[in-house]
């Protein structure tokens, strides 16, 4: 954690620096300003997470400065040192957002207790509230694995989201191979067999890391091992995952079992993937019937049509009327780009970013994240436009 200390007392600075360095994780005095006015005149470029304000010389008139400081660093916690002799100052300081007031000279134990409280609150605020999205193939080979893995990569790289993909295939899971050449060291069944250890860092350590914000938890490659996974394990994994990732994508195999069913129960949106052909539509109908019988709301089920080609005999409208669920997205048939990507284990967006398949995945990212980008210069322009892209 980085702190800005506002004090002209160099001894206090040294004392806080050494107490801060002894903490785990350390508290670093990243900057020092002599007074509140100095801090307002010379704002710190990288916003601190904590303001420590020496109020031993402060007067009631300084509260305005304190309020301005709180507005300048809205996400920082505030700690006031000294100033107890001025109740008026303290009340207004509390109103300005100061949560900790400690006397001077500093009592080290009280300082560390206050820091523990600040760290706990900051930790809670930093927890994410991830969404779980499941991709499920209506028929073998519909493209659920290609779409979920490549969509995960696109979400992480284009929208800067922290994404986890869990391969829920009980057998023959291959999601990691679609976007990486690394052999998974740990799989879903390893996580399940050590479920008591689970927390954010442990989960992260079990992933195949595809991109800085994107990891895949591979399926067990041995069917005997896959039995390690129990429905209650998946509940725990998803609960922890929601706290640490923005999106958790599930690649659900066609064989719905007790584990994938439990995962689907808590999924925010289910994306059945199908191609526009009668056998796929028949299987999609069966799948939707199962979802209905399980009491899932159709509102949370959104069809994705893969390998879509305009002008075919079957139209999207026919699909809508046959299945009664909304088609939210189509991914075009893009044989060369997709086959190259799948064969090489490199995300299509990385391998062929102007391909039709990559563009379609970028569109899906825009839709799912509902990014508000100016019309003249949307994600598309920045991604595929001339060399001024942010991505
Ligand atoms: N949009 C597309 N354009 C062209 N080819 C595609 C497209 N999507 C998927 N494919 C091809 O279809 C094959 C099957 O896709 P994928 O493995 O993703 O399907 P799946 O639904 O996961 O199947 P399974 O039931 O085996 O899990 C892939 O090897 C890929 O080459
Ligand atoms: Mg698959």
CB 246 within 8 A of CB 161: yes
pLDDT at 226 over 70: no
Query: Closest Cα to atom 14, ligand 1: which residue?
Result: 141
Give me the mean pLDDT over the 100-118 stretch.
93
Greater confidence, 12 or 46? 12
CB 40 within 8 A of CB 12: no
Query: What's the 46 CA to ligand 2 centre distance in angstroms?
Result: 44
| Claim to verify: residue 16 and residue 150 sit in the same structural domain | no
pLDDT at 386 over 70: no
Last residue of a domain, one of 109, 126, 143: 126
Looking at the chain, the whole-number percentage of residues with pLDDT higher than 90 is 68
Atom of ligand 1 nearest to the CA of 360: 1
**Residue that has been written with the tokens 């160099």 in this structure:** 10
Q: Lowest-pLDDT range, 140-154, 159-173, 343-357?
A: 159-173
Residues 6+ apart with CB under 8 A from 122: 1, 49, 77
Q: So what's the pLDDT on residue 326?
A: 86
Arithmetic mean of pLDDT over the chain:
89
pLDDT at 195 over 50: yes
Last residue of a domain, one of 99, 126, 153: 126
User: In the chain, how many domains are there?
Assistant: 2
pLDDT per residue as tens digits for the range 172-182: 789 999 999 99
Ligand minimally distant from the alpha carbon of residue 148? 1
pLDDT at 187 over 80: yes
| Claim to verify: residue 213 and residue 199 sit in the same structural domain | yes
| Claim to verify: residue 347 and residue 314 sit in the same structural domain | yes
Report which secondary-structure segment, H or E, holds 233. helix 231-244
**Residue 59 burial (CB < 10 Å; 0-12/13-18/19+)?**
exposed
Query: What's the 210 CA to ligand 2 centre distance in angstroms?
Result: 18
Query: What's the 293 CA to ligand 1 centre distance in angstroms?
Result: 28
Domain assignment present for residue 321? The answer is yes
Q: What CATH number corresponds to the domain at position 336?
A: 3.40.50.300
Give me the mean pLDDT over the 3-19 stretch.
96
As a whole number of angstroms, the distance between CA 390 and CA 10 comes to 42
Give CA separation, 331 vs 223, 224, 252, 351, 383, in Å: 32, 35, 19, 17, 18
Last residue of a domain, one of 96, 111, 126: 126
> Strands 247-252 and 131-137, how do they pair?
parallel
Where does the pLDDT of residue 378 fall: very low under 50, low under 70, confident under 90, or very high at 90 and above?
very low
Q: Lowest-pLDDT range, 7-11, 198-202, 312-316, 378-382?
A: 378-382
CB 91 within 8 A of CB 209: no
Q: What CATH number corresponds to the domain at position 96?
A: 3.40.50.2300
Where does the pLDDT of residue 379 fall: very low under 50, low under 70, confident under 90, or very high at 90 and above?
low
Residues 6+ apart with CB under 8 A from 173: 167, 218, 219, 220, 221, 251, 253
Query: What's the 142 CA to ligand 1 centre distance in angstroms?
Result: 6
Give me the mean pLDDT over the 275-292 stretch.
94
pLDDT per residue as tens digits for the range 34-92: 999 999 999 998 889 999 999 998 887 788 999 999 999 988 999 999 987 788 888 88
Domain that holds residue 298: 131-384
Give me the mean pLDDT over the 382-391 stretch.
38
Q: Residues with beta carbon inside 6 Å of ligand 1?
A: 137, 140-146, 253-254, 273, 306-307, 331, 333-335, 338-339, 342, 357
């Amino acid at each position: 954690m980085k702190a800005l200390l506002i004090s002209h007392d160099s001894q206090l600075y040294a004392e806080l620096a050494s107490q801060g360095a002894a903490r785990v994780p350390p508290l670093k005095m990243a900057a020092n300003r002599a007074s509140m006015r100095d801090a307002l005149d010379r704002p710190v470029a990288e916003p601190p997470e904590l303001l420590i304000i020496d109020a031993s010389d402060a007067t009631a008139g300084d509260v305005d400065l304190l309020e301005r400081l709180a507005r300048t660093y809205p996400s920082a916690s505030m700690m006031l040192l000294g100033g107890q002799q001025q109740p008026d100052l303290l009340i207004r300081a509390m109103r300005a957002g100061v949560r900790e007031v400690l006397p001077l000279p500093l009592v080290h134990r009280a300082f560390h207790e206050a820091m523990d409280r600040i760290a706990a609150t900051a930790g809670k605020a930093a927890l994410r509230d991830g969404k779980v999205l499941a991709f499920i193939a209506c028929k073998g080979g519909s493209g659920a694995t290609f779409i979920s893995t490549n969509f995960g990569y696109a979400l992480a790289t284009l929208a800067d989201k922290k994404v986890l993909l869990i391969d829920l295939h009980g057998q023959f899971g291959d999601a990691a191979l679609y976007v990486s050449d690394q052999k998974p060291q740990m799989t879903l069944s390893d996580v399940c067999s050590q479920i008591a250890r689970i927390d954010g860092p442990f989960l992260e350590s079990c992933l195949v890391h595809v991109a800085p914000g994107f990891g895949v938890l591979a399926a067990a490659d041995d069917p005997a091992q896959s039995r390690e996974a129990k429905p209650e394990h998946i509940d725990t994994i998803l609960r922890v995952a929601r706290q640490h990732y923005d999106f958790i994508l599930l690649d659900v195999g066609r064989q719905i079992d007790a584990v994938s069913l439990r995962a689907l129960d808590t999924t925010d949106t289910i994306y059945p993937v199908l191609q526009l052909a009668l056998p796929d539509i028949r299987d999609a109908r069966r799948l939707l019937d199962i979802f209905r019988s399980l009491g899932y709301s159709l509102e949370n089920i959104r069809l994705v049509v893969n390998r879509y080609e305009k002008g075919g005999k079957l139209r999207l409208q026919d699909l809508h009327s046959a299945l009664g669920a909304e088609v939210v997205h189509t991914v075009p048939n893009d044989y060369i780009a997709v086959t190259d990507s799948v064969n090489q284990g490199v995300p299509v967006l990385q391998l062929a970013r102007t391909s039709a398949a990559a563009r379609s995945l970028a569109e899906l990212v825009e839709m799912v994240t509902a990014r508000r980008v100016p019309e003249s210069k949307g994600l598309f322009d920045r991604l595929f436009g001339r060399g001024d892209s942010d991505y």
